[in-house]
Amino acid sequence: MADKFGHLPRGPGRVLKAAKWSIQGLAAAWLHESSFRLEVCLFVVLAPMGIWLGQTPVEQVLLVGVLILVLAAELLNSAIEAVIERFGNELHDLAGRAKDMGSAAVFVLMMNALLAWGLILGPRLFFT
């Protein structure tokens, strides 16, 4: 129950509820978003490779971390799209712009992942 300021109580119960809501969000993304499913499949393949190919803990964190950022951006993009669809299917410039910007955010982070993997692993593969 919220206090007089609208703050929910803190503690283990709140953390468990937040975790439950997060898992529900992941499940919804998996069920309804084909892009998210594809990116999770790529993560399942590439994350172990990143841990294996990274020579230092920093490299390992970078190789896996950029992949996690792509997943997070995809979740946010899907949330934006769901909210826009909630309010109607009619074309609107602002709705289109918001969807395009969400998609662009995912694209930018994918390019970031490609850059990180290329800069870390490229010299080993091509210059050894």
Query: In terms of residues, how long is the chain?
Result: 128
For 18-66, write each residue's pLDDT tens digit.
Answer: 899 999 999 999 999 999 999 999 999 999 999 999 999 999 999 999 9
pLDDT computed for residue 17 by the predictor = 87
What's domain 33-120's architecture? Orthogonal Bundle (1.10)
User: Annotation-wise, does 22 bind a ligand?
Assistant: no
User: Annotation-wise, does 17 bind a ligand?
Assistant: no
User: Annotation-wise, does 59 bind a ligand?
Assistant: no
- What are the C-alpha distances in Å from 49 to residues 35, 64, 67, 78, 118? 21, 9, 12, 27, 14
User: Annotation-wise, does 85 bind a ligand?
Assistant: no
Active site residues: 74
In contact, 50 and 67? CB cutoff 8 Å: yes
Angle between helix axes 12-32 and 57-86 (nearest 10 degrees) is 70
Could you give the CA distance from residue 118 to residue 124 in angstroms, rounded to a whole number? 10
Q: What is the pTM of this model?
A: 0.86
pLDDT computed for residue 87 by the predictor = 84
Counting residues of the chain whose pLDDT is more than 90, the rounded percentage is 74
| pLDDT category of residue 6 using cuts at 50, 70 and 90 | low
Measured from the Cβ of residue 128, the count of other Cβ atoms closer than 10 Å reads: 5
- Tell me the two tokens of residue 14: 């709140």
Task: Answer yes or no: is pLDDT of 92 > 80.
Answer: yes
| pLDDT category of residue 5 using cuts at 50, 70 and 90 | low
User: Annotation-wise, does 32 bind a ligand?
Assistant: no
| pLDDT category of residue 82 using cuts at 50, 70 and 90 | very high
